[in-house]
Chain A
Amino acid sequence: MATDRQELTRRDSLGLGAAAFAASVLAPHLAMAKPSDVEAELAKLFGSTKMADGRIKLDLPAIAENGLVVPLTIDVESAMTETDHVKAVHVFADGNPQPGVISFFFSPDAGKASASTRIRLAQTQNIIAVAQMSDGRLFAARQEVKVTIGGCGG
């Protein structure tokens, strides 16, 4: 029973993936952001500053059944003091019509660099989060979310 259901879901998602691919080829006006668009956005915001791994945790479902409402939580390890805190966390998606998703701006008064929201994902794609520390250091995290039903509207 459980196996049957799993197979069905996989088949469904494969079918939907194929449909989404066909749509992207056949309908160029529904252009989606590419991974390179996210790279360009990052370059625009941060120039050539190196990004380190770690410190930032992305909490997203591995599989989102409904791309219209995908819960997202970010968490950054930081003392959150006046001299050492997280200034901002920027979130990007490389398969949505636009790469930008949300930017959170923290103050030391926040006490904890954590925030949650709900986002739209048009298709299976990577979510990239970049934390900007008060001393200018950058930390990045990336996670793929498989989307069963896209949240692109239309």
Chain B
Amino acid sequence: MSTRPTPRVRLPATAKAGELIEIKSLISHEMESGQRRDANGQPIPRKIINSFRATFNGKEVFRSAWHPAISANPYQAFFVKATESGEFEFTWTDDDGSTYASKNKITVA
């Protein structure tokens, strides 16, 4: 992909203590499966984002490992119980070692 993958994350800016919040994330990426062939019949090498990790105030809350069966522009939604104000950090790791990150703050009242 010529452009750098852009992560987008949606989560509430504020929550009540103990509230269950849903976090939805999307990142632009081709997720080249390694199964396709180019016009000359040569296999196109695999290049996917193979892992996603979410931490809250430095502690891991959710993680997933992706295989080539994940669609292009991968979507990942999950839940977290809001306990205190702080910052989420989301990290996507590419097959080539690059990482893409997004940070989102939440205020818990």
Contact = CB atoms under 8 A, between A and B. Distances in A.
A143 interface: no
Given A111-B80, A115-B76, A102 B67 contact: yes
A114 B33 contact: no
Contacts of A115: 62, 64, 76-79
A93 to B, nearest CB: 6
Contact of B60 (A93, A97, A104, A107): A107
B61 to A, nearest CB: 5
A118 B62 contact: no
B20 to A, nearest CB: 5
B101 interface: no
A62 to B, nearest CB: 19
A116 interface: yes
B56 interface: yes
B69 A98 contact: yes
B35 interface: yes
B78 A120 contact: no
Interface in B31-49: 33, 35-37
Nearest to B53: A105
B81 interface: yes
A68 interface: yes
B5 interface: no
B69 A120 contact: yes
A144 to B, nearest CB: 16
A114 B63 CA distance: 12
Interface of B: 20, 33, 35-37, 56, 59-72, 74-81, 83
Interface of A: 30, 68-70, 80, 93, 96-98, 100-107, 109-112, 114-121, 151-154
21 contacts: A70-B71, A97-B35, A97-B68, A102-B66, A102-B69, A102-B70, A103-B64, A104-B64, A109-B61, A109-B81, A110-B61, A110-B62, A111-B79, A114-B79, A115-B77, A115-B78, A117-B74, A117-B75, A118-B71, A120-B70, A154-B35
